[in-house]
Amino acid sequence: MTRLELWNGDICVLEVDAIVNPASPTLWMSTGVGGALKRAGGDAIEFAAVRQGPIPVGSAVVTEAGTLAAHVIIHAVSLDRDHRTSAWAIATAIRSAMAHARELGMSSIAFPALGTGLGGFPLAEAAEITVRTLREELASDPGIEHVILALRGAEAYRAFDRALGEPTGAPVRFPARDPGVDR
């Protein structure tokens, strides 16, 4: 059974098969999660990504993870050239990232809150879209065993916690909430 869990902290330190980077079509990693991944894992991550771009909104490419503990970075394009996003872009980028993870036989993947930083998408709405899309993906192909929603701060954690709600019949098990997070 797949575990879907919330984690409040730096996505760069997670020991997972894949970390998802919310990207723009050019795949440059200058700010936000991308900038943090590049600083922690090395410039080679960005060089490898940019060589594969530009790519359309909703698609994704895979690179090695440099010096990060993760095996790969999946650069999922959830922002357009003007760094705007939409519900469609977030959901489609998540689906593309999950497809790449399954293709590569990954068992664990970490997602940040796509579209909510530079994209400025409302946190509560992004949480609903993310949880719904991940539940659909996991129900249709449960090959991935562990999905971490790596969030920064109490507001993001609360929004995703609310979006998870009760798992009414979904084939996903939700672990106990992190007691160390201010609610």
**What pTM was estimated for this model as a whole?**
0.88
Q: What would the pLDDT profile of 72-106 be if each residue is shown by its tens digit?
A: 999 999 998 888 899 999 999 999 999 999 999 99
Q: Are 74 and 100 in contact (CB under 8 A)?
A: yes
- What's the structural domain count of the chain? 1
How far is 63 from 124, CA to CA, in rounded Å?
A: 30
What is the DSSP code (8-state) at residue 1? -
pLDDT in tens, 149-161: 999 999 999 999 9
Q: Is the residue at 180 inside a domain?
A: no
**Lookup: tokens for 164:** 């998870």
Q: Name the residue with tokens 């919310």.
A: 22
Query: Is 151 among the domain residues?
Result: yes
**Residue 22 per-residue DSSP state:** E
Residue 174 domain flag: no
114/119 Cα distance (integer angstroms): 8
Helix-strand-coil percent breakdown of the chain, rounded to 5? 35, 20, 45
CATH of the domain at 45: 3.40.220.10
Q: Give the domain range for residue 62.
A: 2-165
Q: Which two tokens stand for residue 139?
A: 């129900």
Is there a domain that residue 175 lies in?
no
Residue 135 placed within a domain: yes
> d(Cα 115, Cα 105) in Å, to the nearest integer?
26
Question: Is residue 172 situated within a structural domain?
Answer: no
